[in-house]
Structure 1
Amino acid sequence: MNRGVEWSVHVLLSLAWLEDDRPVPTAELASSFELPVAYLNKQLQALVRAGLLRSVPGAHGGFLLAKRPEDITLMDVVAAIEGRETAFQCTEIRRQGMGQDAPRSAFRRKCAIDAAMQQAEAQWRRALAAQTIADIRAEVDGYAPSAARLARKAYGRA
């Protein structure tokens, strides 16, 4: 998984702490995490295309949450940044090399490795779909109550 997923979740969490509808410019979001502006902007645009963020153009533009934090799952973020492709792609390597001369009947069943990987990924996707930005916000608020204040201060909302 690329860093864009982590960066995106942090940005969404920070925006969830803001208490107004003023957009936050890309440069401010990038600066608050010391991230490269151009690369972060690509992630933000992917979140806009996925309907998780709203982009506001203009001199006072930037980004806002497009949905309530309760309605944005970690799976939504992963899908927006990484795509919806499955992580494991079986290439039927078992039919090559030592399996090359095996009878067709040896391959009637689905590859056990592919089946195991697909099952694990389905569980992973369900777990991500069960966690929202609001859940993460609540957890962070519990062990680091100053995080929300720091986010509001970083974006001029203090």
Structure 2
Amino acid sequence: MSYSLSFWQGISIIVYTAVKVEHGYTDFVPTRQLSESLDIPIPTAVKILQSLNRTGLTETREGAKGGIRLAKKPEEITLLDVFHAIEHDRPLFRTKMPTSLTNDFATMVIEKMTASLQQSEQSMKSSLNQVTIADLFR
């Protein structure tokens, strides 16, 4: 199991938007520009933007000068925030497997394996929480 490509694309959208706005190129980045510059199909970009908007990481404006911008400062958005917006707390590892093994030894092995995988995922999330969007481009 792995996280979706959308997680990487969501980070790319956030960073691209932060850089464009921070360097004064625009107030709002048009969706088409994001799509073309980052090579993300428009329907995919729209879906990712909806997730980022729903969680309050970005805001949108309609019209000719519309598009998206960050709803928070880049220093206030972590990679974990983007992860939660895109992956909706979907686990990295599937730990519920159908099995006909029911003896004590099999149960112990499965419990230890599950605990190890959950600890690995928690470590990853802790690491993502330590990196802000600003850290990626400053």
**TM-score, length basis structure 2:** 0.85
Distance 2:96 2:126 in 1: 25
Give 1:12's aligned amino acid: I
Distance 1:109 1:42, change over 3 A: same
- Per-residue displacement from partner, 1:104-157 (whole Å, max 9, x unpaired)? x9748970010000111110000001111011112xxxxxxxxxxxxxxxxxxx
| Structure 1 residue 36 corresponds to structure 2 residue 45 | no
| Structure 1 residue 50 corresponds to structure 2 residue 52 | no
Give the corresponding residue for 1:59. 64
- Offset at residue 60 of structure 1 (A): 1.9
| Structure 1 residue 89 corresponds to structure 2 residue 89 | no
Q: Mapping of 1:1-158 within 5 angstroms?
A: 1-17=3-19, 18-19=21-22, 20=24, 22-91=27-96, 93=98, 96-97=99-100, 99-100=101-102, 102=103, 107=107, 111-138=111-138
SS at match of 1:15: helix
Deviates more, 1:105-114 or 1:33-42: 105-114
SS at match of 2:116: helix
- Per-residue displacement from partner, 1:14-59 (whole Å, max 9, x unpaired)? 2212234621110011111222111111101110001110011223
SS at match of 2:94: coil
- Percentage identity across aligned positions? 32
Distance 1:85 1:123 in 2: 15
Structural RMSD (CA)? 2.2
Q: Return 5+ residue gaps in structure 1 as ranges.
A: 139-158
Deviates more, 1:75-84 or 1:8-17: 8-17
Query: How many residues are treated as equivalent by the alignment?
Result: 133
- Offset at residue 90 of structure 1 (A): 2.2
Distance 2:17 2:120 in 1: 32
Give 2:64's aligned amino acid: A
